[in-house]
Each structure stands twice: as structure tokens, then as C-alpha cells.
Structure 1
Amino acid sequence: EAAGAAYRFVWNLFCDWYVELLKPVFSGDDEAAMAESRATMAHVLDRIYELLHPFMPFMTEELWAQTSSWGQPRGGLLCHAEWPAPDFEDTDAAAEINWLVDLVSGIRSVRSEMNVPPAAIAPLVFVGAAAATRERAARHDPAIRRLARVGEVGFADAAPKGSAQVVLGEATACLPLGELIDLKAETARLTKELAKNADEIARIEKKLGNPQFVAKAAPEVVEAEREKQAEFEEARHRLETALARVRDAAD
């Protein structure tokens, strides 16, 4: 469990978000911003090495030695370093970045669910956005455009026709997709996928509902069927959500 939590922090937060958000800084010409970002990244990497050391001691010890010229001076071996302890928290900054992550993640999910081509760029329209949300959108406009693959970011009193919507706090983020995908064709595709999914779930339920199968089959075979059932049920939920989005956009 601890290893999984450490993995999620390093891969899903540090690599997926922090590094991605810093790329424009390092490709720009603001030397002060680059120096600050490098120092912050070096500090975070040191804490990551300390955090991961119990799980992968040899690799982290080597990385600790190879990066000794970065960031703050080190007193010796990583195994002798103090265990990292939380000593700083900026709740306002955390709330703002969490808002950005939720927005981009929501838009990516919508694009994936609705089969929007990766190269397609749609405008992003906020409806019902408070002043704080408008300010956040303006501050993070370049990151939103790059990470969510959207074009112009604007605000309106009502959702544009043919929009997929993501609720984010008091505001609704709308993606007008009517011109990017064939809504009727996508509705037909998702309906067909749901029918196939229902057939698979019914087949597995029939098998698991057979007492002879459950009693005579190897336990790992029964467990595999239950895992497949859970996967198909999860897929059904995703398909139903996607179909609802497409139908809402078509209205």
C-alpha cells in the first residue's frame, strides 16, 4: 500500500502534472522563473529519493550520488538522510492546481469518451463562472490550451449548442463538439457497443449463476470470470456516460 501511494505520487502527480506544467517555463526565456523551477524540482526530487529509498535502496542511492551537485548540499549517504516530513502547505495554491488538474482531466475524459480525434481543437466555454474561476482560467490559459487541446477560452451565459459539459465547482466547462464529430454516428456506435457489452455481462452472469460451474471449476477460473464481470460493468458505466454526453450535445 505504501509503495502504491509513493508510485502514484511520483508518476501520477510529479511526472504527469508537475513536469508537464514546467515544460513551457524551461522552453521560455525567463531566467528567474527557470532558476526557481530548477531549485524546486531539485528539492522535490531529493524528497522523492528519500521516500522511495526503503523500496528501492540501491537505485535511489545511486541517483542520490549522481545528482549531488543539484539543489541543496547533502551530508552523506541517502540511507543516513532524515525521513521526509511535511513542513509546508499552501492551501490556496493546492486548490488552484487541483482545479486545473480536474478541468484538464475532465476535458480529456470527454474527448476520449466521445471519440474526438486527438488533433481536433475545440473552443472551451465557461458558463456560470465566478470571478475567481475567470481569474484562474486567465492565469492558466496556456496550460489549459496545451494540456487539454482546446482553442480559444471564453465565457458565456448559456452553453453553446452541441456542447459536451464538465461541471467544475460553480461553473460548467463546455466543449462545442458538434462540428468536430458526427453526433448521430457516435450515438449509433456507442449504442452498438453497449449492446455487445450487455451480451458479455449476461453470458458471464449466466456462467457464474450456474452452481455446477462455481463448484467444479478451479477457484482461479471462477475469480477470473468475476474480474471480467467487474471490468465489463465498469465499461458499461463508461459507455452509458459517454452516450449521455453525446445525446446531451445533440439536443
Structure 2
Amino acid sequence: MGKAFKAFKILMAFIIVGLFLVPITSAISLAIYPFQFYQNPLDTLNPGAISNNGVITKNTTIYIYNPGLYDINSLLFVTSVLNSSFYVYGEPTYILWPIPRGSIIPYTVVMAVNTSQLSNEVLGDFLNTTSFYGQIIFNVRYAYALTSLSNLQITPWGTMSPMYNLSHGPAVRDYSTNTTANVTFGFLNFLQGYTLNIYAELRNASGLVANSSINVYSVPSATMFTPAFFLENITLTVNGVGTLKDASNYTLSLIVTSPFSYNYTKTGYTVV
């Protein structure tokens, strides 16, 4: 009985020493053999995509190398999209993976912005931003989760705007009736192609003067180095009785209904 108890105490001593040594050796391993990651820089040049419900995503492949003495039990990525002022657009995305020791594993990191969660003002800022940044927070649980390490990376992420620099001309009347007018509008798309649903309203001090039906357009895709230029017309028709007059006291609203919701408004708008 005494020998068994002595052996048990020796075993417990080894376990306790091991519990102390693991975090020490893992810390030394992290210092000497830190985990490494490599990003394909060309990924930031590829156009992102927008879903039918307005979620914009842009992906990159990161290669993670764990040269240390222990497995990485979990590597937590927390990713966010920022503008040049480091304003965060929307909620972060979370991704969790293990990485065995000695392994090089590719992971797809997704930067996402849910435009349906942005106010009209913030969405307007997003649409007119060309310099985006990807923020990645790494949290590593190492050596049986007894050691952890956190790191923050902020890198340029290219452009993610589907409707950059929305511009328009005056409303040009049909002079034979003065009840319809055409508005030319255009913008740059830095994403893959998508279907745009948009309609227009024209108001004066008395209220709604003319509006359009919901128009459906096919927006072309950007390429790796060149945004796609979109230019189209939208026709407004007098709402009720009356005619359109040559004036600059109108308010034009271009209202996007899909794949995101956005109301662009121009006061002091001209009808010619």
C-alpha cells in the first residue's frame, strides 16, 4: 500500500511539473517558432460580390504555418471592414479553426458588410468610399489551450462599392406633352455584376410631381484592375394632373430597392 501511494505521489509530481512546463515550453516555442501567415496580395484586386439580400463579400486566401512544438487548438479570426478613418461597417465576422503543428493550411478569410444593417447616411458614405481596410484580429489557443496569443492586423482591402460616385443629369422633358422626362444617371461598380432595382421621384414644394415605375437594370462586372461603368436612363411621368415646367426648385430622389435599400436625394434639381 505504501509503495503504491509513493508511486502515486511520484506520478502526481510528474503531472504537476508537466502542467507547469507545458505553458513555459509553449511560450518558448511561440517565441522561437511563431506561427506565420501569408496573404495573396492579388486577392485584394479581385472584385467582391453582392448577394440578393445586400451582403457584400470580398475574400482572400491566407496560408497559416504552425512551425512550433504544439498544435494550435483553435485560431479565431475576427474580421471587419473599415474605411480610411477606421470606421467599422457593420458587425464583425467570426471564424474558428485548429492547426496541427508543422502544418501549412490555406484558409479563406471573408470580409463582409451587410448593407441592410447600415443607415442611409452610413450606406451613402460606404458607396462613396474607394479605400477600404480589412481588420483581422487573431486569437491563438496553443498547447492544449494553456497558452494564448492575440494579434491585430489592418491591411488595405481594395474597393467594395457597388455604386461609387452616383451622378445624374437634369430631367429632360418631352416637349410635346410636358408630362414625361428622362433622367440620365450613372456610377462605377467595383464588384461583380448584379441586378439593380431602382425608381425615381420628382417633388416640388407642393409634393409629388412625377415618378417612375421600378426599373430593373443589369450592372456589369468589374475586372481585377478596372471598375465597370454603368450609364442608363430612367423615365418619370407626371403623377396625376399637371405638367412639368422648366425650373430648378425640384427635389429628385433615386431610390434603390434591391439588392440594397438606398435613397439618394438631390435638392435644387433642374427640369429643362
Range into which the TM-score falls when normalised by the shorter chain: under 0.3
Say which one has the larger Rg.
2
TM norm structure 2: 0.24
TM norm structure 1: 0.25
> Which structure is higher in helix share?
1
> Which structure is higher in strand share?
2
